[in-house]
Structure 1
Amino acid sequence: MKKYLKPSLAAAFAASLAVSMTACSSTPAGNEADACGAYTGFVEAVAGADATIDGSSSVGEIREAREKIATAYDELDGKLGEVSADRKQALADSWKDLSKAIEDVNEDQDLPEAKASITEQIDAVKAAHASANTDLNC
């Protein structure tokens, strides 16, 4: 049992180090790119398990494949959460901007002028909503 402990600890340490090095991207585009990378890792982990597990596989090999998939899934789940948070924040920010623009409409403006003064903010809300409702573009 001891001979398996060191490699397992080393693998766990390496995985946590890799995650911590890529944990935070400062931009929504960076977060989406990280999510795409995690998605690729997950797909590869599943494909690797599918390619290596067969009738001659031991229970230990099957569990090892499951652990690889679980690790990849956990990373993907976290990255998708970051993308979702970015999109949610963009929608909230655009709504705040639109709300403020509407509050700032001058009552002396005629209707076409008032509409023109908030068009940019309405377009931003529509774009943020569309982005929140799209899949990753990997």
Structure 2
Amino acid sequence: MRRATGVLVGLMILGTAACSSETPEENTQEACSAAEELTVALDNFDMTLSPDATVDEVMDARESVRQAWQELDAAADDVAQDRGQALDDAWSGLEDSIDDVSGDATIADAAESLRDDAVEVQEARDALADDLGC
């Protein structure tokens, strides 16, 4: 049973790795799924550590954990990259908005738009800081 579960986890991980997601939401969902798969693999590994387990069974369970960890590691990189890109995009938007303010305009004329763009930078910063555990 343990070996079948390990094989199933491995196949699920390989299936997930074969799909390339493009949106930040898909990347986040993929990371969450990969985190769950790592939990399953670790639980299976723990169950393998019985007095009657063979070395081969422990090695197989370790390989399932390794595959799950690698998948989560790659998915987490994608999420971090998405968050960093969102911050870059928000900053570029604010910078462009400031550059687009006419030289003869008053700050009052542009303030609301600039505030909105600054809020986007703050939100992107907050999302990145949350991901980093700050």
Report TM bin, short chain. Answer: 0.7 to 0.9
User: Could you tell me how far apart the structure 2 residues matched to 1:108 and 1:39 are?
Assistant: 53
The question of 1:85 aligning with 2:81 is answered yes
Change in CA separation of 1:46 and 1:14 when aligned onto 2, cut-off 3 Å: closer
Identity percentage of aligned residues: 31
1:40 maps to amino acid: E
- Please name the residue that 2:118 is paired with: 122
> Could you tell me whether the CA contact under 8 Å between 1:105 and 1:117 is conserved in 2?
no
Normalising by structure 2, report the TM-score.
0.82
> Could you tell me whether the CA contact under 8 Å between 2:17 and 2:71 is conserved in 1?
no
- Please name the residue that 1:99 is paired with: 95
> Could you tell me whether the CA contact under 8 Å between 1:39 and 1:76 is conserved in 2?
yes
Measure how far apart 1:90 and its partner are.
Answer: 0.7
Number of matched residues? 125
- Please name the residue that 1:42 is paired with: 38
The question of 1:28 aligning with 2:21 is answered no
Gaps of 5+ in 1: 1-9
RMSD after superposition: 2.3
Gaps of 5+ in 2: 1-6
Normalising by structure 1, report the TM-score.
0.80
